[in-house]
Amino acid sequence: MTDTALDVPLAVEAAVESPTARAWRRLMRRKAAIFGLFVIALFIVVALLAPLIVPYDPIRQSWSAVRRAPSWAHIFGTDDVGRDVFSRVIYGSRASLFAGVISVGIALSVGVPLGLLAGYRGGFIDALLSRITDAMLACPFIILAIALAAFLGPSLGNAMIAIGITTTPIFIRLTRGQVMSVKVEEYIEAARAVGNPRWRIAIVHILPNILPALLVQATLSIAAAIIAEAALSYLGLGQQPPYPSWGSMLNAAQRFLTSAPWMAVWPGLAIFLSVLSFNLVGDGLRDALDPRER
Amino acid sequence: MLKYIGKRLLQLIPTLFFVSVLIFSLQHLMPGDPATVMAGEEQDPVAIEQIRKQYHLDQPIVVQYVYWVKGVVSGDLGESMRNKEAVLPLILQKLPVTMQLAAMAIVIALTIGISAGVISAVKKNTVWDYAANVFALWGISTPNFWLGIMLIFLFSVQLGWLPTSGYVPLRENWQASLASTIMPAFVLGNAIAAILMRHTRSAMLQVLESDYVRTARAKGLLERRIIIKHALRNALTPVITLGALEFGTLLSGAVLTEQIFTIPGFGKLIVDSVFNRDYAVVQGVVLVTATIFIILNLLADVAYHLVNPRLRATL
């Protein structure tokens, strides 16, 4: 008797899969998402271990090795001042990944609380925040980022702030919309009925329910932020010379397309691969977290 | 209908107000005294004082804003610090170049995006569908400045078919004009084609499941006729309206594309102004793009209501 009584709850527990485990299992069924995760992991390892991987100093110029084609000594070739392109692409991953993560971090930490406030409180605050969001979204992404970066002054840090500010309205709007649909649910009503304060309902009960949507958007936004950082660096508003960034490397490469085309291939390929990977993982997460798909 | 448009126009007022506040506050993001920064390297006290007077920087910030908005409303977006020209005519002068590029990009995007979307929906889960999806992912993930550089390398440096950069106005020589803009237009259209493809695919999949398509099939109509006349016509409505929202992507893309191909449109104008510390022009370009975007958004919304019979009834 005692044995049976113990067995039943255990069996039930084994059969119930947590939402996180289910989402992970579904994500792992998608080859494209696995590829994306693998490439992102690879880029993170490369960025972290950059000093151990690079064969040459990425900023040291060598006038005896100017614009050398790819060879065993320089597998991606050298640039217009004799720097090793491979070492620069490796170090460039730091600027790009860092910019992607930090700027989306800025957008999340400003956008989510404001979105929660607008969606949960409603009324005047909602109207005000929504109009500000509309105004920011009316300015094309890169144009606003360029203007912000220009007024703040060119540097990688300011480029991240500019991209972060430009990405923020997306998260305000998304959080607000999600909160609006979640706050009418019965369990929120119940939480309110037992006397939970508003901030507690917003953080403990609403936020966890809107996390999946935020996670998908954050992943896709990192992809957009990496492109934006590369674009700003290409224009000279991001990472400043001599420090490498994929965008600024492409700018230099364009002047030597005839004599050193390899200079343009590798940094571009690195941007493409990292952005593609974040897009693949974002798409995979969206499908894996969609409750309609079982 | 007029009531609806009126309501939408009224809603624009607060949005435009915040756009103006946002753009006005840009100049206050500058570290230090804006007048000193605007004066550049010369640091001539007389010039700094003149700038302070000209931009009313010696007045409280609210007063500065009122002066600025007054100017904007009367079409005065300030003066370019570099060549002392008025900002608005300067932007309007560059606008046709960007518009030509944008129009060509839209034609390319619609042609590629809609056909790829239709093919992938009709041939769902086949090689065609996968190929179209790969194309969409490629289009979304490729930075347009890299694609531009690679196209210049292939078609200009290697094959010598097209000029590497520069722009010939349409009125001067239309063939040379097309040759100078086809690559940038493709670069610009490519990313939007990918987005349109995804919209078209999902809209087509939805429509192909509908009752009227089933009825058309039951009547024994030719499949091609069903797809083009019955399905695509209905699927296009959301695609076109969603496509109009991509105008922002188009303008953002134009900034970089014009820079790569040295095309003197207004994308290049904003970048050049940034490096010349010509802040009034930067503000002017952001203001003009935001206003165009807001108007297009409104037109797309009204058009959507007009072509959708169910929504038309609610007007």
Q: What is the chain A residue with the closest CA to B245?
A: A138
Least confident segment among A124-133, B11-20, B216-225: B216-225
> ipTM score of the complex?
0.83
Tokens of B133: 């999806």
A-chain residues within 8 Å CB-CB of B293?
138-140
Predicted pLDDT at A2:
45
Chain A nearest CA to B229, separation (Å): 31
- Report helix angle A141-152 to A156-182, nearest 10: 130
Helix/strand/coil (H/E/C) assignment for every residue in B30-57: CCCCHHHHHHCCCCCHHHHHHHHHHCCC
Which residues are CB-neighbours of B193 under 8 A, at least 6 positions away? Answer: B108, B109, B110, B111, B112, B113, B116, B139
Chain B nearest CA to A24, separation (Å): 22
Write phi, then psi, for B86 (nearest 5 degrees): -70, 140
Alpha helices, DSSP H, located in chain B = 2-26, 34-39, 45-54, 61-73, 87-122, 127-141, 144-151, 174-208, 211-218, 223-225, 233-244, 247-260, 266-275, 279-307, 309-312
Contact B260 A264 (CB under 8 A): no
- pLDDT, averaged across chain B: 84
pLDDT (tens digit per residue) in B34-92: 777 777 766 778 888 887 887 777 888 888 889 888 888 888 888 787 777 888 888 88
Which of B15, B77, B150 is the mutation pick for testing A, counting most A CBs within 10 A?
A: B15
A-chain residues within 8 Å CB-CB of B130?
none
Tell me which residue in B14, B152, B279 faces A257 most closely, judged by beta carbons: B152
B-chain residues within 8 Å CB-CB of A227?
143
* Highest mean pLDDT (candidates A59-73, A89-103, B282-296): A89-103
Tell me which residue in A141, A254, A280 faces B252 most closely, judged by beta carbons: A141
A-chain residues within 8 Å CB-CB of B249?
140-141
Predicted pLDDT at A1:
42
pLDDT (tens digit per residue) in B240-266: 777 777 877 788 888 889 989 999 988
The answer to whether A219 touches A278, Cβ cutoff 8 Å, is yes
Give A231's pLDDT tier (boundaries 50, 70, 90). Answer: very high
Tell me which residue in B140, B251, B256 faces A231 most closely, judged by beta carbons: B256
Tokens of B112: 């590629």
CA dist A157 and A91 (Å) reads 16
Give A293's pLDDT tier (boundaries 50, 70, 90). Answer: low
Least confident segment among A2-11, A32-41, A126-135: A2-11
Residue B30 exposure: Cα atoms within 13 Å on the Cβ side: 20
Which residues are CB-neighbours of B48 under 8 A, at least 6 positions away? Answer: B35, B36, B39
Contact A268 B248 (CB under 8 A): no
> Which residues, numbered 208 to 237 in chain A, qualify as contacts with chain B under a Cβ-Cβ cut-off of 8 Å?
223, 227, 230-231, 234-237
> Which residues, numbered 293 to 312 in chain B, qualify as contacts with chain A under a Cβ-Cβ cut-off of 8 Å?
293-294, 297
Chain A contact for B98 (CB, 8 A cutoff): no
- pLDDT, averaged across chain A: 87
Predicted pLDDT at A4:
47
The answer to whether A224 touches B248, Cβ cutoff 8 Å, is no
Give A15's pLDDT tier (boundaries 50, 70, 90). Answer: low
> Which residues, numbered 190 to 229 in chain B, qualify as contacts with chain A under a Cβ-Cβ cut-off of 8 Å?
none
Chain B nearest CA to A135, separation (Å): 5
Residue A287 exposure: Cα atoms within 13 Å on the Cβ side: 14
Task: Report the length, in residues, of chain B.
Answer: 315
Chain B nearest CA to A182, separation (Å): 26
CB burial of residue B205 (10 Å; 0-12, 13-18, 19+): middle
Model confidence at A114: pLDDT above 90: yes
